[in-house]
Copies of this chain bind each other. A is one copy, B any other.
């Protein structure tokens, strides 16, 4: 499928972000939520920071301390054979999983959708017991005159999805946890369908080794139920191991289009398309057999966690899919796909 990548890519990189503390460095700015507010494109960036420490003896995990209201560094001995350092994103010891970076969310604004001004102050930072390992991967769904923001809140209690809202991207209201552990990759449909809100989500069944996409309904956006299974990883190829919703769904004449991500056996993240019935979005019409977008460029294949393209949001305008995506868990990039091409792939 033809993909237009902006020649300006990456459009935002770690060096564009001022670290929140002198002893932290920004290792990634990626997986941005996107919406329009007046004449501006708004991105809600995920900023990942790691301790600035050149140590060949220890790995450090930054954790938010609720009492001190600040980040401290937990130390892990690289020579301890009981500790698993195999994934650069995390460290696992007998106490469980810890992350090697801590994320928060920051707003960037643009008139042309390519050149962004990044705000100095963060939009949302960890502040409660469910967020002490960081807040990640926001999605924005504009419903009526409110922008609903859901993001992943991580702590040793598990991976949850939290709901907040804003009208102006200046002040935010937190509403509570929408989806309990472990659940992430939540996208809320941007309008009510037959009077109900809908969301795609990705619960985990460790007992049955499942990472499937489900759909749920809600009367109020905070409480979700009538959960229904949608699709599983395909078992082979680009989405063989894991899948999850990525961008907020958008409506077309053929139904709701969801751009989702798939992970293969080599931990390579690509994007595919899913078509859902307009009025009964729990009915799957079709799914692309091949990925519609794969890591190919140097900035997608190399970085903090390479071979990753991952989106948390897009603008669907003029029959174009304007995709803001994270490359290699390091950068914000921009690409365009034609709806017509996607619809052909969905047939």
Contacts and interface: CB of A to CB of B under 8 A. Distances in A.
Interface of A: 96-97, 129-130, 156-160, 163, 175-183, 201, 203-210, 212, 214, 216-220, 222-229
A6 B7 CA distance: 79
Given A181-B205, A204-B206, A220-B225, 18 more contacts: A96-B209, A157-B205, A157-B210, A157-B229, A158-B205, A160-B227, A176-B228, A177-B227, A180-B203, A181-B203, A181-B210, A182-B206, A216-B223, A217-B223, A218-B225, A219-B219, A220-B223, A222-B225
A227 B203 CA distance: 15
18 contacts: A96-B207, A130-B229, A156-B210, A157-B205, A158-B205, A158-B210, A159-B205, A159-B208, A176-B227, A177-B226, A178-B225, A178-B227, A179-B225, A180-B183, A180-B203, A181-B203, A181-B204, A223-B226
A176 B163 CA distance: 23
Nearest to A217: B223
Which 4 pairs show the lowest CB-CB distances between chains A and B?
A206-B206, A158-B205, A223-B225, A176-B226
A130 B175 CA distance: 30
